[in-house]
């Protein structure tokens, strides 16, 4: 009981999140998901209020809340949207939010690459396949989710465990504050402007991680050949 009263904010927020996901899920009994949509801003604001206290830097806080709110909102709606095309588009929105977080984390090159690869290639290809395989108005497997209650409870437990771990490590009463940053062997910081720029990332890629780059190139080649081999063909032999 003591533990529950200490972590009442975390448990309440997780219950709110789970209830919102369950309300957003399409079910056979309910026609509209309006209560879920109404609860959505409350949930996102509650998550931000409990876990993401502002740091005092106004511009940084504003950008962070916008980006993370976009990402989490896009993820929530992507998980529960019944139309697969809309779900793919909400995934693109979540990707944009994540790219905003990359920019705040001083990784602008990575943000650009992620937008190009995800929004430009992956989402377009997925939407293309969804539309190719689209059946007559609303197929049953999109309308009826699989074990929604059990999956939501499990997911919320997973998130709660991770949040507890983060709180224990980075919270106000953690032992981390006694650890000085110089003890982390980061005293030899690179030039501050260098972090995240294409030049800096490329220098790190082609010096420290050269072997991994070669391996990644091989994996790409193998995946390309495999995809061409697996892809179904018409009897005439043309794709």
Partner 1 sequence: MSPDPSHYLVVGALLFGLGAIGFLTRRNLILMMLSSELMLHGVSVNLTAFSQYHGQHDGQVLTIFVLTIAACEAGLSLAIILALYQRTRSLDIRLWTTLGEEELMPPMADSASREIEPPAQPLPKLVPAGRRPVIGADGHVVTPVLSNSQASGKGAKA
Residue 136 makes contact with partner 1 by CB under 8 A: no
3-state helix, strand, coil in the chain (%, to 5): 75, 0, 25
Nearest alpha-carbon partner for 45 in 68, 75, 18, 21: 68
Map 84-115 to HEC letters.
Answer: HHHHHHHHHHHHHHHHHHHHHCCCHHHHHHHH
C-beta of residue 1 within 8 angstroms of C-beta of residue 56: no
209: DSSP letter: T
Residue 227 makes contact with partner 1 by CB under 8 A: yes
User: Residue 69 CB: number of other CB atoms within 10 A?
Assistant: 18
User: Residue 229 CB: number of other CB atoms within 10 A?
Assistant: 7
The stretch near partner 1 (CB under 8 A) out of 1-9, 29-37, 200-208 is 200-208
Is the Cβ of residue 35 or residue 165 nearer to partner 1 in the bound state?
A: 165
The stretch near partner 1 (CB under 8 A) out of 1-9, 29-37, 178-186 is 178-186
Is the Cβ of residue 2 or residue 146 nearer to partner 1 in the bound state?
A: 146
- Using CB under 8 A as the binding rule, the residues of this chain from 101 to 130 that contact partner 1 are 101-102, 105-107, 109-110, 113-114, 117-118, 121-122, 125-126, 129-130
- Using CB under 8 A as the binding rule, the residues of this chain from 207 to 226 that contact partner 1 are 208-209, 212, 216, 219-220, 223-224, 226
- Using CB under 8 A as the binding rule, the residues of this chain from 39 to 98 that contact partner 1 are 47, 51-52, 55, 57, 60, 64, 68, 71-72, 75-76, 78-79, 84, 87-88, 91, 94-95, 98
Is the Cβ of residue 2 or residue 136 nearer to partner 1 in the bound state?
A: 136
Residue 179 makes contact with partner 1 by CB under 8 A: no
Give the burial class of 22: count Cβ atoms within 10 A of its Cβ; 0-12 exposed, 13-18 middle, 19 or more buried.
Answer: middle
> What x/- string results for residues 1 through 20 when contact with partner 1 is judged by CB under 8 A?
--------------------
Residues 6+ away with beta carbon under 8 Å from 81: 87, 90
Residue 131 makes contact with partner 1 by CB under 8 A: no
């Amino acid at each position: 009981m003591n533990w529950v009263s200490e972590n009442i904010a975390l448990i309440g927020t997780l219950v709110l999140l789970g209830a919102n996901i369950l309300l957003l899920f399409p079910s056979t009994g309910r026609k509209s998901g309006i209560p879920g949509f109404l609860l959505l801003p409350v949930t996102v604001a509650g998550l931000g209020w409990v876990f993401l206290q502002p740091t005092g830097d106004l511009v940084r806080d504003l950008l962070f809340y916008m980006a993370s709110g976009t990402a989490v909102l896009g993820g929530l709606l992507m998980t529960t949207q019944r139309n697969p095309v809309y779900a793919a588009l909400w995934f693109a929105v979540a990707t944009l939010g994540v790219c905003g977080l990359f920019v705040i984390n001083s990784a602008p090159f990575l943000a650009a690459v992620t937008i190009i690869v995800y929004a430009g290639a992956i989402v377009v290809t997925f939407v293309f396949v969804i539309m190719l395989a689209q059946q007559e108005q609303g197929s049953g497997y999109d309308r009826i989710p699989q074990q929604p209650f059990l999956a939501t409870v499990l997911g919320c437990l997973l998130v709660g465990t991770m949040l507890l771990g983060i709180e224990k490590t980075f919270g106000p009463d953690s032992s981390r504050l006694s650890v000085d940053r110089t003890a982390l062997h980061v005293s030899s910081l690179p030039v501050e402007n260098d972090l995240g720029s294409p030049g800096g990332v490329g220098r790190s890629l082609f010096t420290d991680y050269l072997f991994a780059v070669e391996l990644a190139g091989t994996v790409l080649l193998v995946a390309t050949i495999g995809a061409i081999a697996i892809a179904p063909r018409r009897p005439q032999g043309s794709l």
